[in-house]
Amino acid sequence: MNWRLGCLCLSLMLSACSHTPTVNPAVSNGNNGSGNINSGSSGNYASNESRVQAAAKINMQLGLGYLREGNLPIAKEKLERARSEDPHNPEIHGAMALLDERLGKDKDADKEYRTALDLDSHDPAMLNNYAVFLCSHGRTDEGVRYFEEAATNPLYPTPWAAYTNAGVCMRAVHRDADAAQRFARALRANPAYSEAVYQASDLDFQQQKLADARFRIDVFLLTNPSTPDLLLLAYRIAQAQNDAGAQQRYGARLGQEFPNSDQAHALAASKLNPG
**CATH class for the region spanning 1-121:** mainly alpha
d(Cα 263, Cα 256) in Å, to the nearest integer? 12
Amino acid at 165: N
More confident residue, 38 or 250: 250
* Domain boundaries of the chain, sorted by first residue: 1-121, 191-275
- Assigned CATH class of 191-275: mainly alpha
- Chain segment 84-99, per-residue pLDDT in tens: 999 999 999 999 999 9
> How much is the CA Rg of the chain, to the nearest whole Å?
22
Q: Which CA distances in Å does 27 have to 59, 97, 139?
A: 11, 26, 42
Distance between start and end Cα atoms, the chain: 24
Exposure of 167 in the CB half-sphere (CA atoms within 13 A): 28
Rounded to whole angstroms, the Cα distance separating 79 from 145 reads 29
Q: Among candidates 118, 165, 147, 170, which has minimal Cα distance to 110?
A: 118
Does residue 193 contact residue 161 with C-beta atoms inside 8 Å? yes
Quote the pTM value: 0.77
Question: H or E element: which one contains 208?
Answer: none
pLDDT reported for residue 20: 38
Cα 30 to Cα 19: distance, rounded to the nearest angstrom: 21
Express each pLDDT in 100-139 by its tens digit.
999 999 999 999 999 999 999 989 989 999 999 999 999 9
> Which of 187, 273, 196, 270 lies closest to 227, judged by CA?
196
The residue ranking higher by pLDDT, 10 or 170, is 170
